């Protein structure tokens, strides 16, 4: 049984009686200790997926159907009490900006002790000791002293390390990290990613890494989901997706990177931009920007098919696949 299993999750946002669909029936699994990357551009629905998994969406967003099964139990059907004991404890979340995540008027120690004592029967002293150990694990120098400092006294990289330590406090089974290094410099990003990778490996923690950076996904994750306009359009092993992407959007995303073209020459750009939620095109949401789009793409949403190691939702790939099977039949 997989650790987490999302089935047909649909999220809508309502505005003055009208509703738009932000997540369109997405399904995926995360196995125990597996590291899964979620990539896509802004507005693809990556962060909403993360929030919906913790049932943390707030108005005007709401879950319109589907299941989020964590160890077989549907998070969305749990009582508020059960959900509280799950969040932070079994599933933890790391957000983009550590300055916003940490409470500026409490010391690091107060925040860590509070989290620990909310879930475990511990004395203040015991909780502080656990906090010190966790800070040491994420390579924070002189952890004892840090506990009495406020977030503003620490640098961005240090703060994000503390956020990771806090996420690991209660030994969760799954960490959802939403763009954990986007606000940080590249040298610090590399440190934080290495740390996250090490923590997940050594503690057998599952990781869902939400990012727009394909380089980061390639170095940290085992499996990747590519999202576009509220749907998963391609999923598979990270190596397969990076080396041999099948969906024209994934191909475009990888080819648009400056590394993929010789210096000085034109980059391979994807024309246009992501459609807005209230003006979703008919058929495949990518068809207005797709170089391979035909009439079928303009009218019908493609189904997900297995092709060359990955699962893809694209009519063109489907056609290639049926050609292949008919060849095999002959």
Partner 1 sequence: MTPKDTGALLQIRNLEKRFDVDSGFLESLKFRGGKIVRDTTSVHAVNDISFDIGRGEAVCVVGESGCGKSTVARMVANLLQPSGGSITYDGQRIDTLKGRDLLPIRKKIQMVFQNPYASLNPRMTIGQTLEEPTKYHNPDANAGEVRDKVAAVMKSVGVDPNWAARYSHELSGGQRQRIAIARALTVDPEFIVADEPISALDVSIQAQVLNLMLEMQEKHDITYLFITHDLSVVEHFGTKVVVLYLGSICEVADTRTLFAAPKHPYTKALLSAVPQLKDDKPNHIRLKGEIPTPINLPSGCPFQTRCPMANERCRVEKPASVTQPDGSLVACHAVEEGRTEPGIESGVKEAV
Burial pattern 24-61, b for ≥16 Cβ within 10 A else e, equals bbbebbbeebbbbbbbbeebbbbbbbbbbbbbebeeeb
CB of residue 286 to partner 1, shortest distance in Å: 11
Q: Is residue 252 close enough to count as binding partner 1 by CB under 8 A?
A: yes
Going by their DSSP bridges, the two strands 61-70 and 4-15 should be labelled as antiparallel
Q: Is residue 142 close enough to count as binding partner 1 by CB under 8 A?
A: no
Residues 206-225 within binding reach of partner 1 (CB under 8 A):
212-216, 218-219
- Phi, psi (rounded to 5 degrees) for 282: -75, 165
Q: Is residue 157 close enough to count as binding partner 1 by CB under 8 A?
A: yes
Beta bridge partners of residue 94, listed in sequence order: 177
Q: Which residue has the tokens 């990771």?
A: 164
Which tokens in the block code for residue 224?
Answer: 């990747």
Residue 40 vs 61, nearer CB to partner 1: 40
CB of residue 140 to partner 1, shortest distance in Å: 12
- Phi, psi (rounded to 5 degrees) for 316: -65, -45
Out of 264, 279, 325, 326, name the contact with partner 1 by CB under 8 A: 264
Which tokens in the block code for residue 314?
Answer: 């694209």
Residue 54 vs 200, nearer CB to partner 1: 200
Q: Is residue 193 close enough to count as binding partner 1 by CB under 8 A?
A: yes
If we measure between CA atoms, which residue out of 57, 47, 55, 67 comes closest to residue 4? 67
| # residues near partner 1 by CB under 8 A | 42
Out of 274, 304, 305, 308, name the contact with partner 1 by CB under 8 A: 274
Out of 59, 81, 104, 258, name the contact with partner 1 by CB under 8 A: 258
Contacting residues toward partner 1, per CB under 8 A:
41-42, 155, 157-158, 185-191, 193-194, 212-216, 218-219, 239, 242-243, 252-254, 256-259, 261, 263-264, 266-271, 273-274
């Amino acid at each position: 049984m997989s650790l987490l299993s999302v089935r047909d999750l649909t999220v809508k946002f309502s505005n003055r009686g009208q509703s738009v669909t932000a997540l369109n029936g997405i399904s995926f699994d995360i196995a125990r200790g597996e590291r899964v990357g979620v990539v896509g551009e802004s507005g693809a629905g990556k962060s909403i997926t993360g929030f919906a998994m913790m049932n943390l969406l707030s108005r005007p967003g709401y879950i319109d159907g589907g299941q989020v099964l964590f160890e077989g139990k549907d998070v969305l059907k749990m009582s508020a009490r059960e959900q509280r004991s799950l969040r932070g404890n079994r599933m933890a979340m790391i957000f983009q900006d550590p300055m916003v995540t940490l409470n500026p008027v409490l010391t690091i120690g107060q925040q860590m002790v509070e989290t620990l004592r909310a879930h475990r029967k511990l004395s203040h002293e015991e909780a502080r000791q656990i906090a010190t150990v966790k800070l040491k694990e994420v390579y924070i120098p002189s952890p004892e002293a840090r506990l009495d400092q406020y977030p503003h006294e620490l640098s961005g990289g240090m703060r994000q390390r503390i956020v990771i330590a806090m996420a690991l406090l209660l030994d969760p089974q799954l960490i959802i990290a939403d763009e954990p290094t986007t606000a940080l410099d590249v040298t610090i990003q590399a440190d934080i990613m290495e740390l996250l990778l090490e923590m997940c490996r050594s503690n057998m923690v599952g990781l869902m890494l939400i990012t727009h950076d394909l380089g980061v996904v390639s170095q940290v994750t085992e499996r990747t989901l590519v999202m576009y306009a509220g749907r998963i359009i391609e999923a598979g092993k990270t190596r397969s997706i990076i080396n041999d992407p099948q969906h024209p959007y994934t191909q475009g995303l990888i080819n648009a990177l400056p590394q993929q073209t010789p210096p000085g020459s034109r980059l391979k750009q994807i024309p246009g931009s992501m459609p807005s939620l209230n003006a979703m095109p008919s058929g495949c949401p990518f068809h207005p920007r797709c170089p391979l789009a035909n009439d079928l793409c303009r009218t019908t949403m493609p189904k997900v098919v297995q092709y060359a190691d990955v699962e893809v939702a694209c009519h063109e790939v489907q056609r290639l696949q049926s050609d292949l099977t008919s060849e095999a039949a002959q």
